[in-house]
Amino acid sequence: MNRSQHIFFTLAAFLVFFGINIVANQTLTGVRIDFTSGRLFTLSAGSRGIISRIDEPVTLRLYFSARQLADVPQLLNYGKRVRDLLEAYAAESKGKIKIQIIDPEPFSEAEDQAVGYGVQQLPISANGEVGYLGLVGTNAVDQETPIPYLNPEREDALEYEITKLIYNLNNPKKRVVGVLSDLPVLGGSPDPKTGQPTSGWMSFEQLKEFFTLRLVSRDVDKIDPDIDTLILVHPKDLPDKTLYALDQFVLGGGKAIVFVDPMAEEDRAAQDPSNPMVMPKIDSGMPKLFEKWGISMAPDQIAGDLDAAVRVTVNSSRGPQEVNYLPWLSLTDLQLNREDFVTSQLKSVNMGAAGILEHRKEAKTTFTPLLTTSPHAGILSRDTLMFVRDPAALLQNFKANRSNLTLAARISGIVETAFPEGAPKDVKATTSQLKISPKPINVIVVADTDVLADRFWVRVERFLNVQVPKPFANNADFLINSVDNLGGNDDLISLRSRGHYTRPFKVVEAIQREAETAYREQEQALQSKLKETETKLRELQAKPAATGEALLTAEQRKEIDVFREEQLKTRKQLRAVQHALQKNIEHLGTVLKFVNIGAIPLLLSLFAIGGVVFRSRRA
């Protein structure tokens, strides 16, 4: 083969390569291959299930200020990942989901539209420049549901947030969930300091995103028929007619989630002035109904756990110390039931002074633990815990002689009424009493109410002047999962925990750690040198003051010159360390970019050329 033929075949190979790319870009836009280890851009079965049941078209508008966010790499890269994931939704929906990517330039109609939809403005620079990274969904009846700010720090919940938005647009009528509580979970009670109504607990604020919450009085004789699920939080000494209403609601097929507690730390019950020696009642339970459901909870026993105990800081004679506080538990791994939809995807649930649930021996119901302690658990006395607050003292007297105590459980099965003799006298009977459940009941009981309180699972921080709740445990997810599951929707539950999009560059981090260690050591040396020099200067200055001599002696000036020379030398060394750090990272970044961006196309091109040359030589 002569030189001209080699050139011809080489050019032909390049033309074929680029032609295939152009054709593929136009015809194979719906084909996607996900090589990420966590399958981050492959929709889960839950998302696909919800997408398959879309009745009317849904439009998702991503307001992504790519130009304005170019100087904020965290937001820019996250916006690109959101865009890629949205394209996966569109491909899966077969035309039912339409995606629009909008870059709202400053003072444009697109920006006005984004603000009108409620997309959050993100301040980027001190001169007032703002950007947008939010999502707005609309359905066929023009219902609008925004995600005002797509927080990159919560990217593991990205698919869940998008699928939840689609689900809400496809099911615009929210389920009605009743809430009966002796704690201010829905807010409204005035703050004693400001007089302003208090906000509800964050777990219930998140619940409002999915369901219509309706407050149920503790003095009712019937649960409204449009309530399909009832949440009871800390029911203390409910009257018989309310217990009867709950009994009939559950027997009739209503779902219930019951949070009881032997010692509710969030219960601020005041002491009785007429009987100051008696502790206020801060426990709750429904033993009359529990007996028929086949469970029991001792009102004076609290679960302690050596393995799951939360470490707290206490002041001791030797200063601040970290000690395991036995009543506060952080449940992870095998302490969460991995076979039940409610807890299968959760990472951790925090509880405070939780009680212990037991399945009665004579019970005919099915008892499925959802949250349990570790094998190294034991029982704490409620009375002891109320008077002994020293974590170290609790540890000294604790016996880990119990294993896998149940803290929350699902109860199902056929049950009989707790009122076999009929309705209480003060109940206005409008329907005949159910003596036994026609179908198996489905109830979840949790032996703790503090699990719902904000301080046990979430903290609120600010990011770009936006208040962002940052959960450090899945307590709210546990509540929402329970309501979802009892209502028959398991698809959203499977989406609550996804893998991490960002994967650390371990070599880069090692370089940074090494350089930062050297930087800190030299910085500490500089500070130590500075302190020694200042001490020496004070000593030198004290001598002439006593003798009446000049303020600055030759020895002082010499010491100052030495210090300044040492200071300049150390600063130069610090700059050298920083420069070496940046140089190593930039070099490694260049190599990684070449491997990720250029190497694969180059290898493919060489492979194609080699194939053409090989065939031409054989011919």
| Residue range 416-428, pLDDT digits in tens | 999 999 999 888 8
pLDDT in tens, 253-288: 999 999 999 999 999 887 767 776 667 889 999 999
Residues 6+ apart with CB under 8 A from 338: 344
Instruction: List the single range of 195-209, 249-263, 407-421 with lowest mean pLDDT.
Output: 195-209
The 10 Å CB-count burial string (b at 16+, else e) for 193-204 is eeeeeeebbbbb
The pLDDT assigned to 341 comes to: 80
Convert 130-166 to b/e letters by CB count within 10 Å (16 or more is b). Answer: bbbbbbbbbbeeeeebbbbbbbbeebbbbbbbbbbbb
330 has pLDDT over 90? yes
In the prediction, which pLDDT does 161 show? 86
**Long-range contacts formed by 75-78: CB under 8 A, 24+ apart:** 75/122, 75/131, 75/133, 75/152, 77/152, 78/133, 78/150, 78/152, 78/155, 78/501
Higher-confidence residue of 515 and 284: namely 284
Q: Whole-structure pTM over 0.85, yes or no?
A: no
**pLDDT tens per residue, range 91-129:** 999 899 999 999 999 889 999 999 999 999 998 877 788
Q: Domains in the chain and their CATH numbers?
A: 38-169 (3.40.30.10), 174-270+280-456 (3.40.50), 506-618 (no CATH)
